[in-house]
Amino acid sequence: MSAKQSRMRRVTLAEIVYRPLRMAVAALWLVGAALAGATAPIAAVRLNFPSALVFAVVAVAAVILAVSTLRGRKWALAIDVLGCAGQVLGVIGTVWELADPVGTAKSLELQALGFDPTVAVVINLAYSAVASLLFGWMAFRFVAKRRAARRAEPRAPRE
């Protein structure tokens, strides 16, 4: 690391994931919680208790993450950035799955729950696309904050 880089002010997660972005990400997590929470009782009836428990745990974890995101907890903000970044790959995988559907265990599980697998994949695509857009917003803010920090840094006089 050069001396110049060590002097430059670091951009914090709280600066990148500011309040409007935290609210948008928390809303995304709450949508995920609602989807998982609504599926839990259906899974209990149509599949088995362990499957229902997985959906319930995901719903509770998503609510905890949403609340922690709104409160600006560092660990939650880190998960927000990583989780939204990972959804870029989710979009690619979901588009691939729509283009070349394969009968998988997940498809059979969705049918057992009473859901059309194609509709579920489209919902997953929409969720992943929103998360990817939120990551783009985070990346844009990071770049803008870094540029602002560079411009604010004192310059040595020229000789």
Distance CA 60, CA 92 (A): 27
Contact 142, 10 (CB under 8 A): no
Q: How is residue 95 written in tokens?
A: 């588009």
The pLDDT, as a whole number, for residue 158 is 66
The pLDDT, as a whole number, for residue 91 is 94
Taking only the tens of pLDDT, the chain with its 159 residues reads 455 555 667 889 999 999 999 999 999 999 999 999 999 999 999 999 999 999 999 999 999 999 999 999 999 999 999 999 999 999 998 888 888 776 777 788 888 999 988 899 899 999 999 999 999 999 999 999 999 888 877 666 666
The pLDDT, as a whole number, for residue 157 is 64
The pLDDT, as a whole number, for residue 5 is 52
